[in-house]
């Protein structure tokens, strides 16, 4: 499964988005305010321009009226009079326009009222001059006086026009200063903020898009894992459940319904509905286990019976515990397993164990009988034969003497057989108490035990240093005794027996004819001789109980010695192998765990 790369925490990404949004809103607000201020400034400039034009037009129209009046007075041409009245009309229009443009400024409106009053008086003087001129009842000095007053009013009007223009200019400058004070951020800084916010948006978009792709991959993998998990549950006859303790919402896997003989989702997933399937005698056990999980937050394991929908009784095992997620929410999770087959196998094993225990008791009884009741008659037969041989053998006929000798030998073989059987039984059933054992010391003890036989045959030993192992000392002692005595017994006539004992390390996978294919280390201890040997095809049969390659007339024995060797090696979780070539000696290899 592919692991996702580490990514920014959701809080950091959300914070970046929020900051970028507020930055954009701030930039937009500043831009809007600048546009609004620019619009207002533009309106003020346009209004000032219109006022200035209207003032100039008013002054021009007034001057035109005066000029046309003079032309008429000098020439009496009516066309001048007509132009005069048109100029007067335009003066009135300019006055109305100025009144409209300056209506929102009280100070300017007062100046305009004064200007309008001055212009109106000047127009009145012009009209009065025309009236007096038409009636020719006034002297030239009177008309001249009126004209001079009109000129004086013209100068006063010029002053008012100048004052109004000057006030408009001051208003424009003050507005510009206010605009500069309100807008602290220069345009390039606003542009930088916008570009930075766009950059954050692009990075956030890329990150969100990347996370969505990773989420899609994760969801796809979760879907596959869920299918695998459900399939695994079906194969293993298990199911799972989890309970959201805070919300009290219980969820069962689909396989639980199948284990109960129902269709998926056939009943509402509640503890009480599940309890209906539990065997009545086991419900209290399940309730108590569930209480321990929820109330005491303890891990619980329960074994109980359920009755499926079809009435079949099955055995279940449940395990559950309480966990917490990263948000502190608590969940109760658990597994239900159908262990009916395992329960049947365990019951069968228990029965076999009980049978084995009975067999062991019977074998112990047999050992007791063999060691006492069976050996006693044999010892008596040997005793009686010994007495006959000591006192009556010379008077007994020769053929009867041979019978008695045969009976003595048979009794001896019988005793040896019983002793070997007891030894085999003791080796198989004794308690396995392991100790640290020096094999060199055990070898020397074996030589002392077999010293008489070794001296009779003049046996030569070639040995290397042997290891120290964890073993059952008396069993290893018996193993060495059996292998050495076996090598001496099956030595060739007229050839000095040579026994070579060697030791080395070996891996489990290198041990022939075994299933151990591991790197486990063993001590390989080999016993080689130059005796009569045997055919390799008997290499495994010779370890069978009572199997013999030779008759009693050739070599005495019971066929139990090598069987005991095999049992001892197996008690030590090892292996024993034999290799031989007829008339060229044998090698017995023992593999003990290092």
What CATH number does the domain containing 248 carry? 3.30.450.20
| Cβ-Cβ contacts under 8 Å for 75 (sequence gap 6 or more) | none
pLDDT score recorded for residue 81: 75
* 437 vs 464: CA distance, rounded Å: 17
Query: Do both 423 and 442 map to the same domain?
Result: no
In a domain, 195, yes or no: no
Query: Do both 504 and 364 map to the same domain?
Result: no
Q: How far is CA 160 from the centre of its chain?
A: 88
Report how many domains make up the chain.
4
Name which of 18-22, 248-252, 505-509 the model is least confident about.
Answer: 18-22
Name beta bridge partners: 522.
506, 593
pLDDT by residue (tens digit) across 352-396? 887 777 766 666 666 656 555 566 676 667 676 776 666 666 667
pLDDT by residue (tens digit) across 386-431? 766 666 666 677 666 666 676 766 666 666 656 656 665 665 555 5
Q: In which band, very low, low, confident or very high, does the pLDDT at 184 lie, cut at 50, 70 and 90?
A: low
Residue 336's closest CA among 398, 277, 382, 384?
277
Domain boundary among 309, 338, 367: 338
| Cβ-Cβ contacts under 8 Å for 362 (sequence gap 6 or more) | none
Is the model's pLDDT at 262 over the cut of 60?
A: yes
Higher-pLDDT residue of 488, 175:
488
In a domain, 230, yes or no: no
SS3 string, 8-52, reads: CCHHHHHHHHHHHHHHHHHHHHHHHHHHHHHHHHHHHHHHHHHHH
pLDDT score recorded for residue 183: 54
In a domain, 358, yes or no: yes
pLDDT by residue (tens digit) across 123-134? 776 777 777 776
* 18 vs 11: CA distance, rounded Å: 10
Query: Do both 582 and 499 map to the same domain?
Result: yes
Alpha helices, DSSP H, located in 430-554: 439-449, 451-457, 473-489
- pTM of structure: 0.43
What CATH number does the domain containing 469 carry? 3.30.565.10
Please give the residue range of the domain that contains residue 164. Answer: 10-189
Is the model's pLDDT at 6 over the cut of 60?
A: no
């Amino acid at each position: 499964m592919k692991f996702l790369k580490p990514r920014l925490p959701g809080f950091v990404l959300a914070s970046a988005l929020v900051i970028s949004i507020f930055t954009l809103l701030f930039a937009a607000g500043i831009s809007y305010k600048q546009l609004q201020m620019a619009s207002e400034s533009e309106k003020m400039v346009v209004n000032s321009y219109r006022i200035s034009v209207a003032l100039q037009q008013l002054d021009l129209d007034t001057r035109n009226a005066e000029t046309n009046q003079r032309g008429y007075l000098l020439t009496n041409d009516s066309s001048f009079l007509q132009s005069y009245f048109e100029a007067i009309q335009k003066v009135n229009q300019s006055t109305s326009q100025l009144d409209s443009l300056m209506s929102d400024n009280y100070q300017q409106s007062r100046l305009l009222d004064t200007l309008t009053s001055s212009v109106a008086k000047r127009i009145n003087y012009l009209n009065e001059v025309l009236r007096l001129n038409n009636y020719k009842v006034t002297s030239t000095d009177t008309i001249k006086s009126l004209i001079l007053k009109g000129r004086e009013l013209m100068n006063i009007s010029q002053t008012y026009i100048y004052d109004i223009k000057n006030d408009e200019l001051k208003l424009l400058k003050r507005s510009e200063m206010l605009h500069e004070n309100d807008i602290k951020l220069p345009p390039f800084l606003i542009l930088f903020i916008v570009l930075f916010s766009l950059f954050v948006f692009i990075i956030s978009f890329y990150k969100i898009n990347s996370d969505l792709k990773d989420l899609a991959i994760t969801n796809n993998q979760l879907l596959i894992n869920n299918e695998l998990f459900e399939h695994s549950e079906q194969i293993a006859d298990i199911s799972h459940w989890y309970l959201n303790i805070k919300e009290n919402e219980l969820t069962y896997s689909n396989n639980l319904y199948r284990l109960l003989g129902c269709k998926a989702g056939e009943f509402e997933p509640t503890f009480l509905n599940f309890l209906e399937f539990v065997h009545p005698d086991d419900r209290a056990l399940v309730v108590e286990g569930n209480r321990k999980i929820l109330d005491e937050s303890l891990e619980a394991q329960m074994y109980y019976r359920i009755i499926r929908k079809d009435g079949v009784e099955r055995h279940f095992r449940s395990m559950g515990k309480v966990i917490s997620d990263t948000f502190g929410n608590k969940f109760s999770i658990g597994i239900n397993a159908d262990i009916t087959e395992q329960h049947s196998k365990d019951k069968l094993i228990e029965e076999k164990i009980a049978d084995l225990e009975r067999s062991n008791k019977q074998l112990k009884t047999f050992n007791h009988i063999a060691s006492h009741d069976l050996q006693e008659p044999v010892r008596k037969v040997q005793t009686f034969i010994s007495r006959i041989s000591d006192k009556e053998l010379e008077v007994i006929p020769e053929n009867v003497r041979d019978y008695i000798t045969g009976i003595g030998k048979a009794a001896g073989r019988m005793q040896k057989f019983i002793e070997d059987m007891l030894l085999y039984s003791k080796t198989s059933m004794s308690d396995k108490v392991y100790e640290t054992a020096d094999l060199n010391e055990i070898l020397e003890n074996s030589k002392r035990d077999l010293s008489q036989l070794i001296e009779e045959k003049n046996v030569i030993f070639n040995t290397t240093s042997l290891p120290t192992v964890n073993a059952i000392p008396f069993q290893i002692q018996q193993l060495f005794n059996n292998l050495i005595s076996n090598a001496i017994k099956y030595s060739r006539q007229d050839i000095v027996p040579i026994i070579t004992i060697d030791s080395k390390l070996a891996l489990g996978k290198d041990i022939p004819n075994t299933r151990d294919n591991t790197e486990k280390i063993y001590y390989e201890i080999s016993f080689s001789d130059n005796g009569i040997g045997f055919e390799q095809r008997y290499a495994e049969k010779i370890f069978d109980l009572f199997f013999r390659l030779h008759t009693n007339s050739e070599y005495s024995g019971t066929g139990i010695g090598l069987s005991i060797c095999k049992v001892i090696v197996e008690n030590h979780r090892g292996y024993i192998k034999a290799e031989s070539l007829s008339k060229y000696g044998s090698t017995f290899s023992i593999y003990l765990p290092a």
